[in-house]
Amino acid sequence: MKSKVERKKQKASKPTEKTVAVNKKAAFDYFFVETFEAGIALCGAEVKSVKNGDVNLRDSFCHVENGNLELKNCRIAPYKNVGAFAPEPDRSRRLLLHKTELKRLTGKAAEKGFTIVPVKMYFKGRFVKVEIALAKGKKNYEKKQVIKERDIKRTAEREML
């Protein structure tokens, strides 16, 4: 029989990770050089919308403003039971990083060809996290090569069945 303390430790040691949204377009358009985990500043109603999965990361990007990293164009649909003061769905949201990570990320992003893109949004325990990546854009011929390889793989799998 386990004591209460042992059960609490067991629960605390297993943080649940639930992926809410994935930016598949970013994986197609960019090479990911380095990834970071960042917190995000949300209102209470926005957290409930994220729990429901009403998030769209498709055209979103990250930008440094006033020493803060901001997530732009991320659409979090308004929660239906919020009342009169619902936050704007397309507003920019602050990403929470350590200062050293932020300086390193902004320094690398200032180089030619690099950008910061959100890759996925997920829950880590009770907190909403955003995985962001320092990315370098792909050329059109590289994108076509990815499509070609995917088609070849798909036809090979069909023939094996």
Are β-strands 68-72 and 127-137 bridged in parallel, bridged antiparallel, or unpaired?
unpaired
Give me Rg for the CA atoms of the chain. 19
The class (CATH top level) of 16-160 is: mainly beta
The whole model's pTM is what? 0.78
> What pLDDT sits at residue 138?
83
What pLDDT score does 11 carry? 60
Q: Which residue has the higher pLDDT, 1 or 23?
A: 23
Overall average pLDDT of the 126-149 stretch: 90
- In the sheet where 68-72 sits, what is the strand order? 17-22, 114-124, 127-137, 30-40, 93-96, 68-72, 61-65
Question: For residue range 11-34, what is the model confidence (pLDDT) as tens digits?
Answer: 655 567 888 899 988 888 888 999
